[in-house]
Structure 1
Amino acid sequence: MKKIKFFCFAVALLFLFANPSFAEHLERASSSCHLTTLDGEPTYDLQELKGKVVYMDFWASWCPPCIKSFPFLNQLEQDLKDEGLHVVGINLDEKVTDAQAFLAKNPVDFSIVADPSKQCAQVFELMAMPTSYLIDRNGNIRHVHQGFRSGESEELRALITQLLKE
């Protein structure tokens, strides 16, 4: 009887701590995330990211660690784009003009989209800024990174390089 109780407890814990795959997030996100350009034009559907290694970064212009991450994200895009990496920054500013002003001073080489309704942030259960998701070609979230500390950039680059080889 103790073994059955333990087994049931273990299964319950498994379900409690199981994370849905990015593919499931993509399915939910495609219907609720309405990403736009900073000019308000509709942009690509998240389903279009399947088959690519994606570094998805939620950011805002008022977030100091977000600002510090941009040179790293630019370098990733420059160095690994030809190997199959797609870097996308999802802006969560209340006013799009704040993001536009920030980007005028800090140009980027990677894709920038806006989440005006904040639905993507809800789907991905965003808890901190910035939060980045490293997604493999099968659509599985392989790494979630909250905040940005420049000392961790080599570790993140190694994870990305590993996924690009898979």
Structure 2
Amino acid sequence: MDKKKKRLVMRTVILAVLVIGIAYTIYAAATQDKTKTLQVGDDAPDFVLTDLEGNKHKLSDYKGQGVFLNFWGTWCPPCEKEMPYMNSQYEVYKDQGIEMLAVNIAQSEFEVQTFVDRYGLGFPVVIDTTKSVRNAYSVRQLPATILVSPEGKVTEITTGELTEQRIGEMLESIKPN
């Protein structure tokens, strides 16, 4: 009889855990749709992230400049492929009122620095350690690029790998007058 009671208690606990898990999943799915998704025309959410040299980058400090925000990871082949293109176009546009920020999603400083060194990247690379910026910008898949006008408005949201020509067109579109 003692074995049967233990088995009954164990089964009841497992059933309770499953019911709680299912209830939480349903709740999370129901409330997720209520969070606002960033759209073209919205004000770009402000943030402060630190680059690999220890410099702070606050989006609102770039008001008056176009900002090219690229969300990426070292493990992402399309991200890796577009980085040299970004670097090349950054060299062309950096003195024309354009800022480029590569926002890494929560990887270690060592991983990111190794990647930056391998490709000789000249633009600021910051790490979103808490994923709060990724969430504020509704980034679900990498790479993702968000263009911010000199007035601080989101002008384009693009997911997927970019060509060098496309990056140039994007930078041209946010260049201050």
Q: What's the C-alpha RMSD, in Å, of the aligned pairs?
A: 2.4
The match for 1:23 is: 43
Larger relative helix fraction: 1
- Alignment match, 2:52: 38
Cα pair 2:86 2:167 within 8 Å, conserved: no
Q: Note if 1:90 corresponds to 2:103.
A: yes
Q: 1:17 to 1:59 in 2, by over 3 A?
A: closer
Residues matched between the structures, number:
142
For structure 1, which runs of at least 5 residues remain unmatched after alignment?
1-15
> What residue is the counterpart of 2:171 in the other structure?
160
Counterpart among 103, 118, 121 of residue 131 in structure 2? 118
Q: Provide TM-score, normalisation by structure 2.
A: 0.70
For 2:37 and 2:105, the matched residues in 1 are separated by: 27
User: Which letter maps to 2:43?
Assistant: A
Aligned partners of 2:38, 2:120: CA distance in 1, in Å?
A: 38
Mapping of residues 1-166 of structure 1, within 5 Å: 19=39, 21-23=41-43, 25-26=45-46, 30=47, 34-38=48-52, 41=54, 43-150=56-163, 153-164=164-175, 166=177
Mapped to 2, the partners of 1:19 and 1:138 lie a distance apart of: 15
Structure 2 residue runs of 5 or longer lacking an equivalent are 1-35
CA separation of 1:98 and 1:17: change in aligned 2, threshold 3 A: closer
In terms of Rg, which structure is larger?
2
Task: Give the Å deviation of 1:81.
Answer: 1.2
After the TM superposition, which segments of 4 or more aligned residues of structure 1 sit over 4 Å from their partners? none
Q: Is the 8 A contact 1:132 1:144 kept in 2?
A: yes
